[in-house]
Amino acid sequence: MSTAPAAPLALLAELTHRCPLRCPYCSNPVNLTRVAAELDTATWARVFREAAELGCLQVHLSGGEPTARRDIADLVRAANEAGLYTNLITSGVLTGEAKFQALVEAGLDHVQLSVQDTEPGSADRIGGYRGGHARKLEFARLVHDSGLPLTLNAVVHRQNLDRLPDMIALALDLGAGRLEVAHVQYYGWALANRDALLPTRAQLEAATATVEAARRDLKGRLVIDYVVPDYYAKRPKACMGGWGRQFLAVSPAGRVLPCHAAESLPGFDFPNVREVSLRWAWEESEAFNRFRGTGWMPEPCRGCERAEIDWGGCRCQAFALTGDAAATDPACALSPHHAVLSVAVGEAAEAGEAFTYREPQKVPG
């Protein structure tokens, strides 16, 4: 008899795919969920209760833009009443003082605010939303004045990475306790824009040096998380802590996923919270068990001393680059497909800066 997996640490609740921004690296699937297919308030409240019963400690309220939902305060309250630590992952552009105060009163614990750049014109161009950067700064001040902890999430790439020192300064100015310097991960919309986003090795080395110096100089003032791009790696990262090991996500339509990008993988019948419990999806479903652990691994992963460190890397990246979700992640230097990363880097070096934007009109409101 197989042993039930350990409880997940957190639930990523993707409340909607609606978003006023059009970020060309958006992690949402290319085919966006329509509003009519989104889970209702009562179903999300049940999901939050089931997540707490399963052992989750926190819920990340995400999207799209989660505050595009009119019931966002009710959803925060439901998660809080379920006993979950609530983190709102937001662009900040739709939330004024009254709406934010309602979220605080509903029990919101933490805010994670995305920024596209520090230079307003560049930030608005990347996000595809005029005036967005100014609204973000206004929202950040609301969070600071409320006393809630703030994390600044800076998704970095070739077109903004040179301003990383300014992003660190901005985090300090806004009173953030944590800064996530997250290099773009290339699947979905980001894969379509890879040539315009992939940084040069020189940029990456400079950014790494900047982060190391800032961590030393700002110790005790600002925590800096740093997620590097796999395209320059020799070993893969443990994506989401390993497939079905630490996290689970629920899509706007109710599909339960091992990670937010897993819907990009063909050949899966992901369970839906409209039909099964969160516990059954986590413990029993074939989708969660397919790449859980190490038994599924091909050579050279099988028997590798890092098998229970990186857990095979990213299944979505393996599929995006090889067409096979079970293949060794090309980020590993031992992968027979590792050379495709070098080819991509070379192609990006010759590319321009035009984007294919995420199109919110695909999700009619």
The dihedrals phi and psi of 53, each to the nearest 5 degrees, come to -65, -30
Q: Is 23 annotated as a binding residue?
A: yes
The answer to whether the annotation marks 26 as part of a ligand binding site is yes
342 CB contacts (<8 Å, ≥6 apart)?
none
The pLDDT tens digits of the residues spanning 155-192 come to 999 999 999 999 999 999 999 999 999 999 888 889 98
pLDDT in tens, 186-232: 888 899 899 999 999 999 999 999 999 999 999 999 999 998 888 88
Least confident of 127-141, 325-339, 341-355: 341-355
Is the confidence at residue 363, as pLDDT, over 60?
no
Angle among Cα 351, 201, 215 to the nearest 5 degrees reads 130
pLDDT of residue 2: 56
- Which of these, 6, 16, 8, lies nearest to 252 by C-alpha position? 16
Over residues 255-266, mean pLDDT: 93
Looking only at the bridges linking them, the beta strands covering 247-250 and 223-227 are unpaired
Residue 61, sorted as left (phi over 0), alpha (psi -120 to 50) or beta, turns out to be beta
Identity of the amino acid at 353 = E
Residue 293 neighbours by CB under 8 Å, 6+ apart:
none
Q: List C-alpha distances in Å: 237 to 94, 188, 299, 336.
A: 34, 19, 17, 17
What token pair was written down for 294?
């190490």
More confident residue, 240 or 286: 286
